[in-house]
Every structure is written in structure tokens, then in C-alpha cells.
Chain A
């Protein structure tokens, strides 16, 4: 309990320490770790996030649009959109090249949609890790 309180009171590190690794980590999955010279972990993160995203595309998953309406619709669609966007360059390239899979019923499509969102969420975890390394909170 005491250590948790002590951890919560850590001051925010200077922006210039962590902004670039975190931004690069968003843009290129694993890029933040590459910048911080954690090459092995960077490769694993890049491989996992990219594979998850590409598998989602190959299963013809649907990309969420930031649609609003009732609270549940808003949470699902805006949350899904943010999850998709968290894949960085992968998401941008996919949308720029015109990927536009409609949301159709079917287990494989549904898995694909989840793979696309999860790739982004895993990239968020990688960005948080890059932040902690850059801020000196982690080796």
C-alpha cells in the first residue's frame, strides 16, 4: 500500500524525455523501443502488433467510424475508432489505400474487427512501456 502511494506521487518527467519515443511508438509499432535501443523487445512488439493488424485485414475486419448516438453506440464506435487509430502508420496506410470493408455478419469478419482494434490497444501498451523506459521508471 505504501509503495503504491509512493509510486503515484512520482513527478511527471519532462516532455522532451518521453515525447519522441511515445510518438514514434504510436507511428511505428515498436519504434519507441528502437529509439531507446531496446532492439529485441522492439522487434517483438513490431512483429506482434503488425501481424495482428495484417491478420485483421486479411480476415476483412471492419474499421470503426466515430459514430455517435446512444451511449452504447458512442462507446463502441468511438472507442473502436480510437483503438484502430492507435496502430499508427498501419491504420493511416490502410485508410489512405482505400480499405473500406463494410460491417458484415460472420465469425471471421468479426474476429478480423477484433484483431484490428486489439493491434491498436497492444500498441498503446507498447507506448506506455516506452514512456516508462524513457522516463527512467523502468530498465
Chain B
């Protein structure tokens, strides 16, 4: 199996994507709710990703 080298952003993006899909699928009761929740979770991941990245950047000076 080929080895893959991902950046922090790429790895975190893929993690957020697949986790959001599963959380959306298993959590809600209608397809519309699932889609909305999946997008919401993905958005939260992205906000946390960029937010924490900026906090670390500013924290390091």
C-alpha cells in the first residue's frame, strides 16, 4: 500500500469530512435533518480547526 504524506490541514480536513458524514447519518431521523446536521458538524470542525490554528500561531508569537 502506498505511503501517504498529508499536511496537518489535509489530514484534519479529511477527518472532519468523514466524521461529519457518519455523525449526520446516524444522528437524525430525516434526510433533510441529516444533511443539515452533517454540514453543521463539518462547519464546527472547520471553525475549530482554523480557530485553534490561529490561537497556536498567535501563542507562538
Interface residues of A (CB under 8 A from B): 41, 44-45, 47-49, 51-52, 54-55, 57-60, 107-108, 111, 114-115, 118, 122, 125-126, 128-129, 138-139
8 A Cβ contacts from B14-29 to A:
14-15, 18-19, 21-23, 25-26, 29
C-alpha gap A54/B14 in the complex (Å):
12
- Please indicate the chain B residues that have their CB under 8 angstroms from the CB of A57 in the complex: 1
Interface check B59, CB cutoff 8 A: no
Q: Once the chains bind, are A125 and B3 in contact (CB under 8 Å)?
A: no
Q: Does B2 contact A (CB under 8 A)?
A: yes
User: Which residues of the other chain, A, contact B58 by a CB distance below 8 angstroms?
Assistant: none
Measured as residues with beta carbon below 8 angstroms from the partner, the interface class of chain B is 10 to 19
Structural contact, B29 and A139, CB atoms closer than 8 A: yes
The verdict on B56 contacting chain A, using a C-beta distance below 8 Å, is: no
B6 at interface, CB cutoff 8 A? yes
Q: Please, which residues of chain A bring their CB within 8 A of the CB of B11? A: 59, 107-108, 111, 115
Contact with A along B24-48 (1 / 0, CB 8 A): 0110010000000000000000000
Tell me which of A44, A45, A108 contacts B6 (CB under 8 A). A108
A-B pairs under 8 A by CB, number: 64
- Given the known interface contacts A41-B25, A45-B25, A108-B11, the answer about A58 and B4 at a Cβ–Cβ threshold of 8 Å is yes
Which of A51, A55, A128 contacts B26 (CB under 8 A)? A128
Kindly identify which residue among B2, B18, B26, B29 contacts A52, using a CB–CB cutoff of 8 Å: B18
B8: Cβ under 8 A from any A Cβ: yes
State the CA gap A57–B3 with chains docked (Å): 8
Q: Are A49 and B22 CB-contacts (below 8 A) given A108-B11, A139-B29?
A: yes
Say yes or no: A44-B25 contact (C-beta < 8 A), given A58-B2, A59-B4, A108-B6.
yes
Q: Which of A48, A107, A115 contacts B8 (CB 8 A)?
A: A107
